[in-house]
A and B are shown apart, each in its own frame.
Chain A
């Protein structure tokens, strides 16, 4: 499973409890109501545990988190040890 799939499965199972059709790769997670503040926190905690990364305060920005694609790319960059976008 690639990162995007892992993230998608997590969100579908744990945030949407199966309502997967709401989730598309480039749709704003906040704008479409998929994630609220608590939801983001939930996802951040999961990402840290699942991928063994640490996410800093300054990295929690829409550029890294607002769509499924951005999240997956962000995790990928973190795992490759590259500097995260700001």
Chain B
């Protein structure tokens, strides 16, 4: 796990400056505090920051092939590297390290871009072919590791994090209005975009190739879709056996490391399941970590303690008090690099600090199970609304939805509004985004706070249209639950969960997360499993519960799913962070950033400070506005590209014609 940066000159003549690469690396030192290395020639500069996990002594990067014509910088893990290495050795490849990085390089040498199909892992990397003068960048299938790029003044500038790109003088730093509109609709940007204008993210499952000055981007993997006929028709017991074996293997290969590994245990089914399968089938004794909340509605401490006792793990908990969450919010945003409508990433930022303080660099997590196995309420909502759209006179769907969202509709009187609330858009069941219309429409209410200027810059286009346009041709083969799952995976998983609640907040403290449920084999297998086994009636993750039952206490399997959330308004308005919030949301500050209507923001603040009953939407609005203001301040207004203490790389390979000995 590491950080990578680089610059590729698209036209010959201009040479990369060593100081540019150093400046980019300096911004993301947190991603790789252990070692650093640079490669330079007349066409490219590559920088690598290493968090050493496999081959602690020998894995220093950049790594080269036998004749030093190919060079790689790489962030991530190839979990099946042991098997691939054996195969490559048989084909005559020689290795000078025992790292997975070198395996990847030789596999690329052997198979070119097709090598990506063979990798089981989480990665973002760059390979420079110095003979053919080709640069190859790639990102893992679901987007666990980040990779950003920009084309500026004839150069392709790329990096794990955007702040490195901003370290290059002259790269414009502006909030992109359309991206902001997307965040205020979908909770995140759509694949490929970032919060900033002209800064892009290589979408998950894609590679980018620079050849003779031309940049080409290609998809090498997509979320698998199988028609009902192509799906498995196995009895549930046989299915469970397959899933159990695959899950065990996905965990087994994710335990490959030359450093000890911990596990996040939230108290829910998924993370408990990962920890328990590893303990019972693979004999792992765990260091586990969990988040506690003071507010009972958010806290899962009791279940964490039960699991720790059950696992015999050394369990550490951090208390995400409103004060601490509020204090950590700005720092969390610095790492997430995009506005957030939630505070939930902040406790995870704090949790990785606890992991790091224990001297651990790697944790397994249960993330991804909800997407793959059908855990979210929105999937059930989709199922119910689909049924309802065919029988609009039935009153059963409204009651079912009431049960589903009893947290939101606590007040019995709101039952009156269930019908119009969930009945909205029922006549649009033909729409591919039918399952998400209510959520997105609801979230979009907070766009009322955009300034007139921002609204004009966004324009009048339908924000859902780019989603419809980017769907797979096979999307129509999916049923209502499958469609909702696909949308969650495409938008929310890769651009929010794996980023703002995943890589970015973990790597902020040099911690790598590994996610067995997102093993591509598991994604594929579950795509071949009919939806009814995922959500049986309204019982979510039915088949996963069956698989995990023998490994877990009954209570954990039977408990009602609780989505991971953190309080918003209390965290952002109380105590010292409240003062910071008010400072950033003064009429002057809001007007200066030009994104929001200062009068409306003032009224929102007044309402939230006065009200006892704060609703979900107002909380989201506060988080969204405040985080946009913070991002604007950190990256647009106050960003200083040069740090005082420039990184001093451990090794520099300088092949520039004008090369001088580096310091």
User: Could you list which residues of chain A lie within 8 angstroms of chain B, going by C-beta atoms?
Assistant: 13-14, 16-19, 30, 36-38, 40-42, 44-45, 55, 57, 60-61
| 11 CB < 8 A contacts A-B | A14-B607, A17-B449, A17-B604, A18-B600, A36-B421, A36-B442, A36-B445, A40-B417, A41-B413, A41-B417, A60-B413
> Would you call A13 and B416 a contact (CB within 8 A)?
no
> A30 touches which one: B420, B449, B613 (CB < 8 A)?
B420
Question: Which of B412, B413, B616 is most buried by chain A, counting CB atoms within 10 A of its CB?
Answer: B413
Q: Is there contact, CB below 8 Å, between A42 and B615?
A: yes
Q: Considering the complex, which residues of chain B in the window 404-444 have a beta carbon less than 8 Å from any beta carbon of chain A?
A: 408-409, 411-418, 420-421, 442
- B contact residues around A55 at 8 Å (CB): 413
Q: Nearest-CB distance from A13 to chain B (Å)?
A: 5
Tell whether B603 is near chain A: CB-to-CB under 8 Å: yes
Query: Smallest distance from the beta carbon of B425 to chain A beta carbons, Å?
Result: 13
Q: How many residues of B contact A (CB 8 A)?
A: 29
Asked if B599 is an interface residue, CB under 8 A from chain A, the answer is yes
Give residues of chain B (603-662) contacting chain A, Cβ–Cβ below 8 Å.
603-604, 606-607, 611, 613, 615-617
Given A14-B607, A30-B420, A44 and B413 contact (CB-CB distance below 8 Å): yes
Give complex CA distance A17, B417 in Å.
22
Q: Which residues of B lie under 8 Å from residue A42 when comparing CB positions?
A: 613, 615
> A60 with B448: in contact, given A18-B600, A36-B421, A41-B411 (CB under 8 Å)?
no
What's the Cα separation between A31 and B497 when bound, in Å?
35
Most buried by A among B417, B611, B613: B417
> Beyond A41-B414, A57-B413, A60-B416, is A18–B421 a contact (Cβ under 8 Å)?
no
Could you tell me the distance in whole angstroms from the C-beta of B548 to the nearest C-beta in chain A?
36
A-contacting residues of B (Cβ < 8 Å)? 408-409, 411-418, 420-421, 442, 445, 448-449, 597, 599-601, 603-604, 606-607, 611, 613, 615-617
Complex CA gap A53/B135 in Å reads: 71
Task: Write the nearest CB–CB distance from A36 to chain B, whole angstroms.
Answer: 7
Contact B418 A37 (CB under 8 A): yes
Asked if B603 and A14 make an inter-chain contact with CB atoms under 8 angstroms apart, the answer reads yes
Identify which of B415, B416, B449, B604 gathers the most chain A CB atoms within 10 Å of its CB.
Answer: B416
Q: How far is the CB of B422 from chain A (nearest CB, A)?
A: 9
Q: How far is the CA of A61 from the CA of B413 in the complex (A)?
A: 10
The residue from A19, A38, A45 contacting B617, defined by CB atoms under 8 A apart:
A38
Contact of A17 among B415, B420, B600, B611 (CB under 8 A): B600
Q: What residues on A are CB-neighbors of B604 within 8 Å?
A: 17
Tell me, rounded to whole Å, the shortest Cβ–Cβ distance linking B634 to chain A: 26
A28 CA / B445 CA spacing, docked (Å) = 18
Q: What residues of A have a CB within 8 angstroms of the CB of B445 in the complex?
A: 36
User: CA A41 – CA B615 in complex, angstroms?
Assistant: 9
Contact A38 B603 (CB under 8 A): no
A37 to B420, alpha carbons, bound, how many Å?
8
Residues on A with beta carbons closer than 8 Å to the beta carbon of B606? 13
> Which one of B413, B600, B616 lies within 8 Å of A38 (CB-CB)?
B616
Among A17, A40, A41: residue with most chain B CB under 10 A: A17
Nearest CB on B from A47, distance (A):
12
A38 B615 Cβ-Cβ under 8 A: yes
In the complex, the chain B residue whose C-beta lies closest to that of A31 is B420
Given contacts A16-B448, A57-B413, A60-B416, 10 further A-B contacts (CB under 8 A): A14-B611, A17-B449, A17-B604, A17-B607, A19-B600, A36-B442, A38-B408, A38-B616, A38-B617, A42-B615
- State how many angstroms separate the Cβ of A83 from the closest Cβ of chain B: 18
Q: Inside 8 A of A41's CB, which chain B residues have their CB?
A: 411, 413-414, 417, 613, 615
Expressed in whole angstroms, the Cα–Cα distance for A14 and B414 within the complex equals 19
Complex alpha-carbon distance, A19 and B445, angstroms: 13
Q: Do A13 and B617 touch across chains, with their CB atoms under 8 A apart? A: no
Give min CB distance, A61 to chain B, whole Å: 7
Pick the contact of B421 from A19, A37, A44, A57 — CB < 8 Å?
A37
Rounded to whole Å, the gap between the CB of A63 and the closest CB of chain B is 12
Q: Are A57 and B412 in contact (CB under 8 A)?
A: yes
Name B416's contact: one of A14, A16, A19, A61 (CB within 8 Å): A61
Distance of B440 from chain A, by nearest CB (Å)? 14
Best-buried of A14, A37, A41, A55 by chain B (most CB within 10 Å) = A37
Q: Are A18 and B420 in contact (CB under 8 A)?
A: no
Q: Are B617 and A17 in contact (CB under 8 A)?
A: no
